[in-house]
Amino acid sequence: MQMILMTPGPTNVPERVLEKMKNTQCHHRTKEFGKIFGELNEGLKYVFQTKNPVLTFPAAGTGGLEAAIVNLFSPGDRVLAVSIGVFGDRFIEIGRTFGLQIDVLEVPRGRGVTVEEIQGALRDEHIALILTHNETSTGAVNPIKEIGEFMKDKSQIYIVDAVSSLGGSEIRMDNWHIDVLITASQKALMSPPGLTFIGVSDKAWEQVEKAKLPRFYWDFKKARRDMEKATPQNPYTPAVALIGAANEAIKMMQEEGLEAVFERHKKLAAYFRKEVEKLGLPLYTDENYLSDTITAIATVKGEEIKKIMETQYGIVIAGGQDQLKGTMIRVGHMGYVDQDMIDRTLTALKGAIEEVC
Ligand SMILES: *Cc1c(COP(=O)(O)O)cnc(C)c1O
């Protein structure tokens, strides 16, 4: 049985991308690689909607979060971070690991933060605001555009984890005044796991100059220096085949057009939620903060439903994470996803519900 990955990452990879990955076999200090990497770097600017360079490191998304921390801060720096779920908390934990003083703005699970709450919590002594765009553990979204409007003239660096939304939901790094924007290859970007991408604004580059935390592999300045060479490179051996794959996936997004990509995600998400509600299943997430890339459904029968969908229908979904285990199922609809995959998921979900409820 051909399995369909309706998880919030890793997601389905188009055949065209897999084929390109198989055929990307070259040495990383050649013109041939430089051409592919140079194209990827330009393509990333398009999907991030930024004029600034977007850095690529071979790593999971979590590596990208750590890279942001070690390049932007010094021990003892005070920041404000928003906790709306597992991934917001992970970013906080990474910051604490490196000795940051983090004031946490706690938001009830299932909803996002409001601009007013940020306004109430942000202080002059904070040098950054850190938050998650799409909280993959709860299906809730923080209003990063509105928050960006508020952050526009502030001194603080605005850092956003968009691992499970960039390339699916609308994000405009420059227009929305985001200073550091982090994502990974395996969610909405239709590529296999293994790469993290980080956009860095001019304001954030100034902060990098001041930051004193030690870094070697993650050094933003070295990464930028090498990607801006006449033959674009990475400081160390990059994941050559994955870079070939991601470049092809972004070409597909350019062919479809970013606006059409956003529209497809929005429509499929709305349709999926409507059909889930018709099945009598309650959403876990507050209706004012719904994600375009993932749906969290409240149920205590999650483990059984997940198992039936996987073994009988070949549809892989996810359960609740950490403390949220046993409270929900999560269905990813991001990246390489279409109406047919959504319909097959709904058929499987309906079958599973009939069996367990
Ligand atoms: C998946 C995810 C991550 C972590 O990505 P890994 O590649 O698993 O390390 C971070 N943040 C968010 C919002 C995610 O969805």
Query: If you measure from the C-alpha of residue 312 to the centroid of ligand 1, how many angstroms do you get, rounded to a whole number?
Result: 28
Mutate to test the pocket of ligand 1, among 163, 181, 187 (most ligand atoms within 8 A of CB): 163
> CB under 8 Å to 93, separation ≥6 — which residues?
none
pLDDT, position 331: 98
123 belongs to an annotated ligand binding site: no
Q: Is a pLDDT exceeding 90 seen at residue 2?
A: no
- Classify strands 78-83 and 128-132 as parallel, antiparallel or unpaired: parallel
Ligand 1 proximal residues by C-beta, below 6 Å: 8-9, 60-62, 87, 132, 134, 136, 161, 163-164, 184
Identity of residue 352: A
Protein residue closest via CA to atom 2 of ligand 1: 163
**157 CA distance to ligand 1 middle (Å):** 21
251 CB burial (10 A radius; 0-12, 13-18, 19+)? middle
Q: What integer pLDDT is reported at residue 99 of this predicted model?
A: 98
Residue 80, pLDDT above cutoff 90: yes
Q: Report how far apart, in Å, the C-alpha atoms of 345 and of each of 187, 270, 275, 288 are.
A: 18, 14, 11, 24
Q: What is the DSSP letter of 216?
A: S
CA of 163 to the centre of ligand 1 (A): 5
Q: Where are the domains of the chain?
A: 4-10+257-356, 15-255
Q: What is the mean pLDDT of the chain?
A: 97
Give 90's pLDDT tier (boundaries 50, 70, 90): very high
Share of the chain above pLDDT 90, in %: 99
Q: What confidence score (pLDDT) does residue 70 get?
A: 98
Which residue type does 102 have?
A: I
Q: Residue 73 contacts by C-beta under 8 Å, 6 or more apart in sequence?
A: 79, 95, 98, 100, 127, 128, 211, 213
For residue 262, the model assigns a pLDDT of 98
Instruction: Answer for the pair 71, 215: CB distance below 8 angstroms, yes or no.
Output: yes
pLDDT digits (tens, 9 = 90+) for 43-72: 999 999 999 999 999 999 999 999 999 999
In order of 9, 69, 109, 195, the CA distances from 245 in angstroms are 16, 27, 35, 10
pTM above 0.85, yes or no: yes
Q: Identify which of 135, 128, 45, 54 has the alpha carbon closest to the alpha carbon of residue 87.
A: 135
* Average pLDDT for 66-93: 98
Identity of the residue numbered 48: F
Other CB atoms closer than 10 Å to residue 208's CB: what's the count? 18
What is the rounded average pLDDT of the residues 197-209? 98
Q: Are 253 and 56 in contact (CB under 8 A)?
A: no
Nearest atom in ligand 1 to the alpha carbon of residue 60 is: 7
Closest ligand 1 atom to the C-alpha of 8? 15
**pLDDT of 15-54, one tens digit each?**
999 999 999 999 999 999 999 999 999 999 999 999 999 9
- Which ligand 1 atom is at minimum distance from the Cα of 133? 13
Mean pLDDT value of segment 216-234: 98
Determine the pLDDT at residue 1: 79
CATH number assigned to the domain with residue range 15-255, chosen from the 4 options 3.40.50.300, 3.40.640.10, 3.40.190.10, 3.30.360.10:
3.40.640.10
Q: Whose CA is nearest to atom 12 of ligand 1?
A: 163
Nearest atom in ligand 1 to the alpha carbon of residue 196 is 7
Position 210 confidence tier, pLDDT thresholds 50, 70, 90:
very high
Using alpha carbons, select from 125, 84, 134, 86 the residue that is nearest to residue 103. 125
What is the mean pLDDT of the segment spanning 268-296?
97
Which pair of structure tokens corresponds to residue 31?
């013109």
Compute the distance from residue 278 Cα to the ligand 1 centre, in Å: 30
Q: How far is the CA of 30 from the centre of ligand 1 (A)?
A: 32
Ligand 1 centroid to Cα of residue 104, in Å, is 20
- Quick check: 173 pLDDT over 90? yes
First to last CA, the chain: 26
Res 8 pLDDT > 90? yes
Polymer length of the chain: 357
> CB neighbours of 127 closer than 8 A, spacing ≥ 6?
73, 77, 78, 79, 155, 156, 157, 207
Whether the predicted pLDDT of 159 surpasses 90: yes
The CATH homologous superfamily for domain 4-10+257-356 is Aspartate Aminotransferase, domain 1 (3.90.1150.10)
Of 140, 199, 137, 138, nearest in space to 167 by CA: 199
Tens of pLDDT, residues 116-148: 999 999 999 999 999 999 999 999 999 999 999
